[in-house]
Amino acid sequence: MRIFSAGMLECKAKVKIMTKFDAASLKYDDKGLIPAIAQQDGTGEVLMMAWMNQNSVEETLRSGHVTYWSRSRKEFWKKGLTSGHIQKLVSMRVDCDRDCLLVTVDQTGPACHTNRRSCFYTEVRDETEVEIMAPIA
């Protein structure tokens, strides 16, 4: 029996051991990509969404350093390699359709290239978009 904690909710659940994970079993789009949502371990804060391909999924699991696929640069993007704002992998979850990933991370520094903690720094309120998070000084 393993205890899982999700915010204030805690439950005891039996962990079902499935088969050995194979990144090829995921459902990638026509460009070979799958969305990956990064969430801060412990707080559940959503940090960012980026894309992975099969090789970046495998590299993330192998190294423990979250690695995405940069669509604009057409190359692997080890989060924080140049900025120092790394994401250390805590866990990786696969959604029920196998076409989206949730990576729980230990984020060092801001996750967003705008120097904000999260890429989700605007909110729509009463048909107006407002900034709810300032860049980290």
- C-alpha of 1 from chain center: 26
Q: How confident is the model at residue 58 (pLDDT cuts 50, 70, 90)?
A: very high
Q: Please tell me the pTM assigned to this model.
A: 0.85
What pLDDT digit, counting tens, does each position of 59-93 carry? 999 999 999 999 999 999 999 888 999 999 999 99
High-pLDDT (> 70) share of the chain, %:
91
Tokens 């801001």 sit on residue:
110
Helices (H) and strands (E) in the chain, counts: 1, 10
Q: Which fold has domain 20-131?
A: Ubiquitin-like (UB roll) (3.10.20)
